[in-house]
Structure 1
Amino acid sequence: MGNDLLKGVKQTRLLLRKQQLTTVFEQFDRDTMHLTSEQRIEKYKKMIESPFRFFRGSAYLYYYDTTKVASAFHTPDNYPTWIMGDMHMDNFGAFQNENGDIVYDVNDFDEGYVGSYLYDVMRMSVSIALYLEEQGIDEEIQHQAITSYIEQYIKQLERFQKKKDDPMTLIFTKENTKGPIRRILKKLEKRQQTHIVEEITVINDQGERTFVWNDEIQPVEKELFDKIVALVPNYKVNDVAVKHGSGTASIGLARYYLLVDGQDASGFENLVLEMKEVRTAIPAYFFPYNEVFWQHYAHQGARVVGTQKAMHHLEDPHLAYVTMDGKEYYIRERSPYKRKVKPKNYKSVEEYIETTGIMGRITAKIHARADIDYSEVFTYHSEDEILREIFKGKKLFVEKIILQALRYKEIVNSDYELFCEWVKEIESSSTVMS
């Protein structure tokens, strides 16, 4: 009897957590996002690749958990920051800005919303721990990498506050970065502007440039082709394709590639535009409702475009938002210089610490830029409000974030095991997600 009772003690917590996970995934993926059974299985198979991939695909679980936790370092609800909303290691990358500079910055804005800066900082800190653990790097280095991220975040905010740097003009190039980021930026300088077009298009027998069809890039029917062309009257559209197989959280959202005539910073005349369906930002389901924000960004495509414009010094000149068949989309250029830092690009553990420090500075830049200097939603400078909270106890702030991040990493690892069990169960069930 005693052993059975102890077994119950050990299993009850896991059973209750598994029920929570099931409820959250059913609510968001099935009832809110309306993913089909097939789409859910496709998404979940990607998520079971690793705890880090699981973390990437379950932002709603992160917000479900963390918005329940009080902190003395949150900014007040009436002084929110425009946050990126899905901060993690793989949502930073290189691209070309409007001036033709190859820069490094955040590159995903689908979950942009207004709330406490702390959710971006914490989510990024957890992702650092998970990412490094996946590479076999021990917790001591994880601790150092998170410390580097947070300390550089704070230092950069202080530089903005003291007017030593301007968030409206600061960009990250090969001149002010180091390690794998700098090496990638230098290497991309040699890449031709035609890279993306030549990679996914071909000149056909009629002398016309069209997409190359494969498992990920497929043609659309004429009716849909004509609808999309009508949405972008300022472009001559040469071809349209539906894009499959991108991302994890984006599964179930329509994505199209448009091959158009147009000019970018280098004057190249063929561009690939991406038109992606977007839904309500996940943080919005958990944060206080912000009436002023939604008055300006009720269209979800406008919200994503607004987030990117707010956070990038020089924005993509092709940014736009449209509505088609009742669904909302945003449009942006598919950059030929798009590239992220991968595990193989790091030469030492020290370079992880160096890189997360640069990411901390970038996070500070996007938080400080998207305020009174850019948007009429704000009447204050975000760096002032954030630093006011951090300076309640700067050392304690750093220690608390690291402690919480490493603890939440363990929760993610445990959740990942429960999730893998659940996916096997629903795959083998005769009533899979009906």
Structure 2
Amino acid sequence: MKLLVDRVQHTRRALREHMLETIFNEFDVECMGLDDDKRKVKYGEMIESPFRFFRGSAYLFYYDVTKIPFPYHTPIDKPAWIQGDLHMDNFGCFQNEAGEIVYDVNDFDEGYVGSYLYDVFRMAVSIALYTDAEGLSEDEQKARIAHYLHSYYKQLQRFKDKIDDPLTLTFTQENTKGPVKKVLKKLGKRQHDHLLTDITYINEEGKRVFNWNDEIQPVTDEELKEIQAVMKQYFLTIDPENKQNPSYYQVKDVARKYGTGTASIGLNRFYILIEGGQEAGGTDDLVLEMKEVRTSIPAYFLPYSDVFWKKHAHQGERVVATQKAMHHLEDPYLGYVTIEDKHFYIRERSPYKKKVKADKLVTLKDYDQTLKTMGRVTAKIHARADADIESVLLTHHSEVEIIKAIGNVDQFVRDITYAAVNYKEQVKYDYTLFCQWVQEKY
């Protein structure tokens, strides 16, 4: 009998190992074009923890969860514009075009249209993994997920009841609490030239240039010429109301940026120092970030939207459009370019970029205050990017359709929490298989 049971376990494990290897080969090699050296770097980051593994394998998440028959999806013809890779580390602070330091979602590379539930469930799983790593019990993990989900639902109701307006709602130190409020308050005292002071210096010729380190490295002469050449193309993609005089965007220096997010390893990323205009503190230079982007991972698994792809065929433009749809006052430097056959988007590298780190989440109250804001932000990005923004793409109010799909909120919270904690265990199991595979192969 034991031999039969052992055979069952061996076969189940072998099948999952084969599936994992197939998925990683398909997406990292065939889709991303990563060579062995880049895969080694990426996988070296992913083996740090189950949460880091989860962040770097969104394609595995979508492969699995699109097969789960959740009853809470909105109809296929009533999708939301989703962030596509929602997790604890994709929220943070930055400065919007009105000069306010706000807390919001800060990564839009996987933006697509589909059921809101994929954002919410991915976030719920990430809460379970994150809090598990910080030593919270399973009951405490469940309570944190439930707190996030209830916050999400309550904010949707506030939009539906016209108490709040998703088109104008922002999260600042005035309407947040706990760790988020503390980070926003601290950033409010930061000098605008903080980033420039940190990563640039004035050379012997009196010119500001990048200061080389492990993460910021020189580009080749060819790369420099390519980037200088596409700045005219970039200028044309900036919203008319945000355009400055062309001299404002004059390139002063360019650097290659390393140390990117786990899922972005293998994609080109540059910092561009431009002339700028007179800014607060007397600093006139500023740093743009130019990042290569590929097809959104959810697009491989969610229902195909011909309307979406006709409107957002350029992947850099897709990312820019996603950010504009989800933010009230977006980055005035948003634009996109093509270099050879690669798509890039451009945005300001905010001097106020910062997230709430794990060491700031000391008590359960710290978690709940932070997750409450994250839930409200999630509701805002879903409700904002609907018919008010994209009348051709989304012809309905997302908050109305999502509330309708959720139905009984208490049952919804119980079901999603249960499923998220269960999938957390699947991630941890896959992480063990993945680590063994990486050690054997690399």
Fold match (TM-score > 0.5): yes
1:50–1:206: structure 2 CA closer, same or farther, 3 Å change rule?
A: same
Q: Is the 8 A contact 1:259 1:272 kept in 2?
A: yes
Which residue number in structure 1 is paired with residue 275 of structure 2? 261
1:230 aligns with 2:225: no
Identical counterparts, % of pairs:
58
CA distance in 1, matches of 2:8, 2:341: 50
CA distance in 2, matches of 1:351, 1:220: 42
Which residue number in structure 2 is paired with residue 426 of structure 1? 441
CA distance in 1, matches of 2:380, 2:277: 28
Which residue number in structure 2 is paired with residue 3 of structure 1? 2
Higher mean C-alpha displacement, 369-378 vs 85-94: 369-378
1:263–1:172: structure 2 CA closer, same or farther, 3 Å change rule?
A: farther
Specify the code of the residue in structure 1 equivalent to 2:99.
Answer: G
Is the partner of 1:321 in helix, strand or coil? strand
CA distance in 2, matches of 1:182, 1:114: 31
Which residue number in structure 2 is paired with residue 432 of structure 1? none
Which residue number in structure 1 is paired with residue 93 of structure 2? 94
TM-score with structure 1 setting the length:
0.96
Specify the code of the residue in structure 2 equivalent to 1:381.
Answer: H
1:135–1:263: structure 2 CA closer, same or farther, 3 Å change rule?
A: farther
Q: How far off is 1:265 after superposition?
A: 7.3
Which residue number in structure 2 is paired with residue 332 of structure 1? 347
CA distance in 2, matches of 1:40, 1:384: 43
Give per-residue Cα distances to partners, 1:203-230, cap 9 Å, x unaligned: 0000000001122111112222122112
Paired residue total: 425
Which residue number in structure 2 is paired with residue 27 of structure 1? 26
1:355 aligns with 2:370: yes
1:176 aligns with 2:181: no
CA distance in 2, matches of 1:109, 1:361: 17
1:291 aligns with 2:318: no
1:382 aligns with 2:398: yes
Q: Is the 8 A contact 1:148 1:354 kept in 2?
A: no
Q: How far off is 1:347 after superposition?
A: 3.0
Is the partner of 1:232 in helix, strand or coil? helix
CA distance in 2, matches of 1:274, 1:155: 35
Q: Is the 8 A contact 2:179 2:369 kept in 1?
A: no
Can you give the 5+ residue segments of structure 2 that lack an aligned partner in the other structure? Answer: 233-245
CA distance in 2, matches of 1:84, 1:400: 22
Give the alignment partner of residue 398 of structure 1, picking from 398, 405, 413: 413
1:345 aligns with 2:360: yes
TM-score with structure 2 setting the length:
0.94
Q: How far off is 1:15 after superposition?
A: 1.6
Specify the code of the residue in structure 2 equivalent to 1:384.
Answer: V
Is the partner of 2:264 in helix, strand or coil? coil
Q: How far off is 1:10 after superposition?
A: 2.4
Which residue number in structure 2 is paired with residue 167 of structure 1? 166
Higher mean C-alpha displacement, 299-308 vs 65-74: 65-74
Q: How far off is 1:42 after superposition?
A: 0.5
CA distance in 2, matches of 1:144, 1:270: 46
1:309–1:27: structure 2 CA closer, same or farther, 3 Å change rule?
A: same
Specify the code of the residue in structure 1 equivalent to 2:25.
Answer: E
Which residue number in structure 1 is paired with residue 12 of structure 2? 13
Give per-residue Cα distances to partners, 1:73-105, cap 9 Å, x unaligned: 101111110000000000000111111111100
Q: How far off is 1:140 after superposition?
A: 1.3
1:373 aligns with 2:372: no
Is the partner of 2:122 in helix, strand or coil? helix
CA distance in 1, matches of 2:297, 2:257: 23
Which residue number in structure 2 is paired with residue 301 of structure 1? 316
Specify the code of the residue in structure 2 equivalent to 1:108.
Answer: D
CA distance in 2, matches of 1:82, 1:209: 40
Which residue number in structure 1 is paired with residue 107 of structure 2? 108
Q: How far off is 1:138 after superposition?
A: 1.1
Q: Is the 8 A contact 1:321 1:328 kept in 2?
A: yes
Specify the code of the residue in structure 1 equivalent to 2:370.
Answer: T
Q: How far off is 1:264 after superposition?
A: 8.3
Q: Is the 8 A contact 1:258 1:274 kept in 2?
A: yes
Q: Is the 8 A contact 2:86 2:119 kept in 1?
A: yes
Q: Is the 8 A contact 1:98 1:265 kept in 2?
A: no
Q: Is the 8 A contact 1:218 1:243 kept in 2?
A: yes
Q: How far off is 1:295 after superposition?
A: 1.2
CA distance in 1, matches of 2:383, 2:111: 14
Which contiguous aligned blocks of 4+ residues in structure 1 show a shift greater than 4 angstroms?
Answer: 264-268
Specify the code of the residue in structure 1 equivalent to 2:254.
Answer: V
